[in-house]
Chains A and B, each alone.
Chain A
Amino acid sequence: MSDEEDDIILSELNDEDLVAQMFDDLYDGMKDEIEEGVNILIARGWTPYKVLTEALVGGMTIVGHDFRDGILFVPEVLLAANAMKGGMAILKPLLIATGAPRMGKMVIGTVKGDIHDIGKNLVAMMMEGAGFEVLDLGINNAVEAYLEAIEAEQPDILGMSALLTTTMPYMKVVIDTMIEKGMREDYIVLVGGAPLNEEFGKAIGADAYCRDAAVAVETAKELVARKHNQGAAI
């Protein structure tokens, strides 16, 4: 059989098969194919939000589960994320133009002294995929940068990331400063990073420690819904 005969023509697949194929392509980190699939679904009249949630986030959720279960490793997750990023780049302007449900807003950044951003970038991308507006402060953020951003943006959530044992205590500096300024209770604070654990999250006064990007999204949704319910009850 020639290679040509093996090739799958995405445009010839029906919607269901195309989405299934996009899950496979995302899993295999095939950026060009994901971009093609997104364009085909849009051309078929799918809303950008439907493409995002059903084709991209659906596929990335499988990647997340297999990473959690030790079936996939960091390189494969990065390739998948890169493919998803390609799809999201097409969808983002369309989502802004067409409107999409907004789950909430998040400010996220890696803490001072730390330049690691792979996990933080994955969380930011998955949060965007889940309908959150995300302001990414990048790496090496001092407390002032976080405070300036949350005061200006008034997000629902502040997310902090650290990869190093030496930098993770800085999260407490940020939270303590928020307490001093009487603004801690105005925001949900989520923390994550390889050396962290739930105990650490509690000890520094975060609302939750998130083990991976999928957990971050689920936790964010739950805590934002709870916050809104509390607001409604007052």
Chain B
Amino acid sequence: MTTDANLTHDGLALNGHGRVLLIACGALAREIIALRKGNGWDHLDLQCLPAIYHNRPEKITPAVRDIVAQNRDHYERIFVVYADCGTGGQLQAACDEMGVKMIAGPHCYSFYEGNDAFTALDEVTSFYLTDFLVRQFDAFVWEPLGLAKHPQLRDMYFGNYEKLVYQAQTENSELIEKARECADRLGLEFEYRFTGYGDLAAAIEDA
């Protein structure tokens, strides 16, 4: 069984015989699988890149290009389940060039909230976590930022933030408590916000 740590560092290998390939961030794997299962979308195959590319966005575009090149002859369509995700428009440009579509929005926090709603909120001083990022908080935030070893750096990173918003895809009291703990560790106020899958569901349905 694929663990969250696997999804963070290795991604998810391609498996299936569908007509449409989804190339996604490992942080979305469980949500996409849940949507596929819940809706009977058996025509969708899924391959995920390591979710930790979230912290190294310069790796995303070349990796997506490679997977598209390897698979374009085997599928009717390919859909990229990454938003811009810090690629500075490079992923969109690559997708346009390759003739594949991708999910709209700047990042998953936006499409989980719903892109229009997220823009309207205009929350400049909020730091976001999703279900996956709550579970993998140490791997994505605490360790890469060196906070375990150098807690004095915390306010250099987070001093301008005011609150941590936990955008929940599922209702899970344990995750809420863990997210609240993450907020405490970062010295931020906490807000719980159930978003469900937001724009992700419609994007996958149209893929």
Taken together as a complex, chains A and B put the C-alpha atoms of A165 and B153 apart, in Å, by 24
Residues in A1-53 with C-beta less than 8 Å from chain B: 29
Taken together as a complex, chains A and B put the C-alpha atoms of A219 and B157 apart, in Å, by 26
Contact of A195 among B57, B122, B152 (CB under 8 A): B57
Which residue of the partner chain B has the closest CB to A193? B88
Residues of A within 8 A of B147 (CB): 75
Contact of A115 among B89, B149, B150, B161 (CB under 8 A): B161
A166 at the interface (CB under 8 A from B): yes
- Give chain A nearest CB distance to B157 CB in angstroms: 7
- Give chain A nearest CB distance to B79 CB in angstroms: 20
Asked whether A166 and B150 contact (CB < 8 A) given A195-B86, A197-B88, A200-B88, the answer is no
Indicate if the CB atoms of A114 and B124 lie closer than 8 Å: yes
Taken together as a complex, chains A and B put the C-alpha atoms of A116 and B159 apart, in Å, by 9
Interface residues on chain A, number (Cβ under 8 Å): 25
Which residue of the partner chain A has the closest CB to B143? A75
B87 at the interface (CB under 8 A from A): yes
Which residue of the partner chain A has the closest CB to B127? A115
Interface residues on chain B, number (Cβ under 8 Å): 24
Residues of B within 8 A of A139 (CB): 160
Indicate if the CB atoms of A165 and B150 lie closer than 8 Å: no
Taken together as a complex, chains A and B put the C-alpha atoms of A90 and B160 apart, in Å, by 26
Asked whether A73 and B146 contact (CB < 8 A) given A78-B156, A113-B124, the answer is yes
Interface string of A49-79 (1 = CB under 8 A from B): 0000000000000000000000001111011
Which residue of the partner chain B has the closest CB to A29? B150
B125 at the interface (CB under 8 A from A): yes
- Give chain A nearest CB distance to B95 CB in angstroms: 15
Taken together as a complex, chains A and B put the C-alpha atoms of A105 and B157 apart, in Å, by 27
Taken together as a complex, chains A and B put the C-alpha atoms of A115 and B157 apart, in Å, by 10
**Most chain A Cβ neighbours within 10 Å, of B57, B84, B89, B90:** B89
Asked whether A115 and B124 contact (CB < 8 A) given A73-B146, A75-B146, A194-B86, the answer is yes
Taken together as a complex, chains A and B put the C-alpha atoms of A22 and B90 apart, in Å, by 41
- Give chain B nearest CB distance to A82 CB in angstroms: 8
Which residue of the partner chain B has the closest CB to A169? B89
Taken together as a complex, chains A and B put the C-alpha atoms of A105 and B152 apart, in Å, by 31
Residues of B within 8 A of A82 (CB): 152, 156
Which residue of the partner chain B has the closest CB to A115? B160
Asked whether A166 and B160 contact (CB < 8 A) given A75-B150, A75-B153, A113-B124, the answer is no
B198 at the interface (CB under 8 A from A): no
Indicate if the CB atoms of A118 and B157 lie closer than 8 Å: yes
Contact of A118 among B88, B149, B156 (CB under 8 A): B156
B5 at the interface (CB under 8 A from A): no
Besides the known contacts A74-B145, A165-B87, A165-B107, 7 further A-B residue pairs in the complex with CB atoms under 8 A apart: A75-B145, A75-B147, A82-B156, A115-B124, A118-B157, A139-B160, A195-B86
Of all A-B residue pairs in the complex, the 9 with the closest CB atoms, nearest first, are A75-B146, A195-B88, A115-B160, A165-B84, A166-B106, A165-B106, A195-B86, A78-B153, A113-B124
Which A residues form the contact surface with B (CB < 8 A)? 29, 73-76, 78-79, 82, 113-118, 139-140, 164-166, 168, 194-197, 200
